[in-house]
Amino acid sequence: MKSLSEFLPVRWQQFNALTKPRVIQLIVFCALIGMVLAVPGVPSWAEVQLGAIACVGIWFVSGAAAAFNCIVEKAIDARMKRTSWRPTAKGELSDRDTLLFSAVLCVLGSAILYIWVNPLTMWLTFATFVGYAVIYTVILKPLTPQNIVIGGASGAMPPVLGWAAMTGDVGPEALILFLIIFLWTPPHFWALALYRVEDYRKSGLPMLPVTHGNEFTRLQILLYTIVLLAACLMPFVYRMSGWFYLVSAFILSVMFCWYGWKLWLSYSDDLARKTFRFSLIHLSLLFAALLIDHYLPGVA
């Protein structure tokens, strides 16, 4: 079965690639979880419509940030095997066209959120755009090996955006979800950086494996997975989830720690790759467990 991109003209495929669709899917999924958890019980039809509109707005602004990132990093992307295929890196799209595309998406997404959702969600989403596209991409990423840690705040915002879309405010539950993604981000990206270290070395970016070495990075991954395990139990402790989530979160987080432990004891590119892939499974299943648990009877 053909994917949607195969039916699109080549030019539109290039613009679609700028938005980093797989990343955007995870962002919108995490925002959707924030929306669902913010609504007690089964949402009304009006709430379903509101959530759908918010997802579209968040998708547009997130896509705009990704496209802007492609402009700023086109020279770096061209030197890295993992990103050299991007249309901006290959010179298939000009900076002007990419910037215009990014601006249109950002304005359209912001307008949708401001008019049909609420101003708070619009401003938080726009702040996320600035945090990722400017503060992280332009300033932090080329400046410090802690770029992923500090810049991870932008990547952790989706459930907060979802919560704000449905409630008009930011509750402690949304901040717990933020903390989980914030702590998940460093071991996720550092696992990738370990087996892509030569790419990052050629790019000139001060990623942790380049500046501090393989062994130090592996230790940081292990330590972060341990702290992440504790954070993943907080929804149960705060009584925003029940036993189904607790068991699921504990198993998934222990498995992530196990990957971190194995990686620290004995390194291989294959194991680092498996750790990176499991980190995606971990976050997806963790939030799916929150979603399922929310509709189970007896949830506090």
Tokens of 255: 């498995």
- Mean pLDDT (the chain) is 90
If one compares 107 and 23, the residue with the highest pLDDT of the two is 107
pLDDT digits (tens, 9 = 90+) for 244-256: 999 999 999 999 9
Per-residue pLDDT, 155 = 87
State the first-to-last Cα distance of the chain, in angstroms, to the nearest integer.
43
Q: In this model, does residue 77 exceed pLDDT 80?
A: no
Per-residue pLDDT, 187 = 96
Per-residue pLDDT, 149 = 83
Residue 280: what residue type? L
Q: Alpha-carbon distance 120 to 168, whole Å?
A: 7
pLDDT digits (tens, 9 = 90+) for 207-236: 999 999 999 999 999 999 999 999 999 999
Q: Alpha-carbon distance 146 to 207, whole Å?
A: 8
- Least confident range from 40-49, 114-123, 261-270: namely 40-49
Eight-class DSSP state of 113: I
If one compares 90 and 104, the residue with the highest pLDDT of the two is 104
Q: Alpha-carbon distance 231 to 26, whole Å?
A: 20
Q: What is the SS3 string spanning 198-232?
A: HHHHHHCCCCHHHHCCHHHHHHHHHHHHHHHHHHH
Tokens of 155: 């990547």
Per-residue pLDDT, averaged over 44-73, amounts to 94
Per-residue pLDDT, 298 = 60
Q: How much is the CA Rg of the chain, to the nearest whole Å?
A: 19
Per-residue pLDDT, averaged over 81-90, amounts to 79
Q: In this model, does residue 1 exceed pLDDT 70?
A: no
Per-residue pLDDT, averaged over 108-133, amounts to 95
Per-residue pLDDT, 3 = 52
Q: Are 60 and 106 in contact (CB under 8 A)?
A: yes
Per-residue pLDDT, 12 = 80
Helix 243-265 / helix 172-195 crossing angle, nearest 10 deg: 30
Query: How many Cβ atoms from other residues are within 10 Å of residue 170's Cβ?
Result: 17
Q: In this model, does residue 73 exceed pLDDT 90?
A: no
SS3 category, 267: coil
Residue 254: what residue type? V
Q: In this model, does residue 59 exceed pLDDT 90?
A: yes
Q: Alpha-carbon distance 253 to 262, whole Å?
A: 14
pTM exceeding 0.85: yes
Per-residue pLDDT, 32 = 94
Tokens of 281: 């499974």
Q: Alpha-carbon distance 12 to 3, whole Å?
A: 14
Q: Token pair 């539109």 is at which residue? A: 12
Q: In this model, does residue 2 exceed pLDDT 70?
A: no
pLDDT digits (tens, 9 = 90+) for 143-193: 888 888 887 888 899 999 999 999 999 999 999 999 999 999 999 999 999
Q: Which domains does the chain have, with CATH numbers?
A: 1-170 (1.10.357.140), 171-300 (1.20.120)
Per-residue pLDDT, averaged over 82-93, amounts to 80
Eight-class DSSP state of 163: H
Residue 107: what residue type? V
Q: Token pair 């755009």 is at which residue? A: 129
Tokens of 138: 């332009």
Q: In this model, does residue 300 exceed pLDDT 70?
A: no
pLDDT bracket for residue 6 (50, 70, 90): low
Per-residue pLDDT, 259 = 98
Q: Are 265 and 163 in contact (CB under 8 A)?
A: no
